[in-house]
Copies of this chain bind each other. A is one copy, B any other.
Amino acid sequence: MPRQLKKRSRKAGLPPGSLIHIGEQLIEKTKITVFDYDETYLQEKEIRTTDECRQYKNSPTVTWIHIEGIHETRVLEELGVIFGLHPLTLEDILNTDQRPKMEDFCEYLYVVLKTFYNNGGERKEITSEQISIILGPKFVISFQEKETDMFKPIKERIRTGKGNLRKAGADYLAYSLIDTIVDNYFTILEQAGEKIEFLEESLIKNPSTQTLQAIQSLKRDMIFLRKSVWPLRETISSLERAGCQLIHESTNIFLKDIYDHTIQVIDTIETFRDMLSSVLDIYLSSVSNRMNEIMKVLTIIATIFMPLTFMAGVYGMNFKYLPELEWRWGYFFFWGFVIVIAISMLVYFKRKKWW
């Protein structure tokens, strides 16, 4: 699981709008890719200097500037100047410890979201990445912390012209990006769901401390996901109400669709939380059942052998006058007695359903 709190304190005392990158540097060099397209025309290139972006600002075509790696504050500053971004927006893009939110600056909308990856390692931990999207009248700028192929299907759809992405405006592109991110949650949740089912089965077979740790770790993942997804609902719902005509009427129905998906994600997280606490209950009671079983074994053994040991002790005594010792069949009577005691004890425990 990722750290719950990033080193935000580095910024304490600085004036607002100070551009400081909060988070880990996950990529060596910032990579800027530009897609400039309309229904008939498409240009895709990787650019070196932010200066090259200037031409796209007021072009009639839709432009998607995708930035991977946000630790170079200089790049951001320059983009901020070119596209007229507010210093607080730039500060928020750099601060990877944001809560999902939408801010309407009228000239542009600023949306910040979280996406989650399964980092594939042995413990299959979930890591998160912050994605910022700026939607202007004819452009979309997106910021990612590292290079991933999450947006590959969208790039494909732009290149091939499949679907109506090429026909629609910048708002539809922004919608497609957000949709991809939300769809991604389902993948993460499916993996979590499989883990929970696996845990349930392994619990019944053999409750170990590892199982407990796995439950707790999943619980924390859910806390963590929930923290990111709850505000998402509000974010998307505020997008639907965004003013300044940056979002067209026709895109609204698609936003409603994402909104439904978000509710679905929240529902699933809540269901998983409920399921995890019932798994925990099963764990705890199977632990206490084990204890019960151990105690039963101990008690049965003790209850059978203590009286017998006492009897053996009695006939080991050295009293001068101890009549049974003189009997011809004394020893065999003793064994008979032992067997009777043992069997009647076992019958008693059987009746009490201990056995």
Contacts and interface: CB of A to CB of B under 8 A. Distances in A.
Interface stretch (A77-85, A130-138, A280-288): A280-288
Contacts of A322: 318, 331
A296 B293 CA distance: 10
A187 B5 contact: no
Contact of A220 (B253, B278, B308): B278
Interface in A4-58: 4-5, 7-9, 11-17
A312 interface: yes
Interface in A231-261: 231, 253-254, 256-257, 260
Contacts of A354: 294
What is the oligomeric copy number?
Answer: 5
Counting from the closest, the 6 A-B pairs by CB-CB distance are A312-B313, A13-B153, A15-B163, A315-B317, A305-B306, A316-B316
Nearest to A192: B5
B298 A212 contact: no
A153 B16 CA distance: 12
A344 interface: no
Q: How large, as a class, is the contact surface on chain A?
A: 35 or more
Interface string A141-167: 000000000001110010000111100
B187 A9 contact: yes
A278 B190 contact: no
Q: SS class of chain A's interface: helix, strand, loop or mixed?
A: helix
A50 B294 CA distance: 67
Nearest to A1: B275
A334 B306 contact: no
A179 interface: yes
A179 to B, nearest CB: 7
B330 A325 contact: no
B328 A321 contact: yes
A305 B315 contact: no
A308 B317 CA distance: 12
A320 B327 CA distance: 7
A291 to B, nearest CB: 5
Interface stretch (A62-70, A119-127, A263-271): A263-271
Interface in A288-340: 288-292, 294-299, 301-303, 305-310, 312-331, 334
B285 A212 contact: yes
Interface string A170-200: 0000001001100110110110010000000
A12 B187 contact: yes
Nearest to A328: B321
B16 A257 contact: yes
A193 B329 CA distance: 64
A223 B275 contact: yes
B331 A254 contact: no
Given A12-B187, A298-B299, A315-B319, A289 B287 contact: yes
A353 interface: yes
Contacts of A320: 325-327, 330
A74 interface: no
B257 A88 contact: yes
A259 B183 CA distance: 29
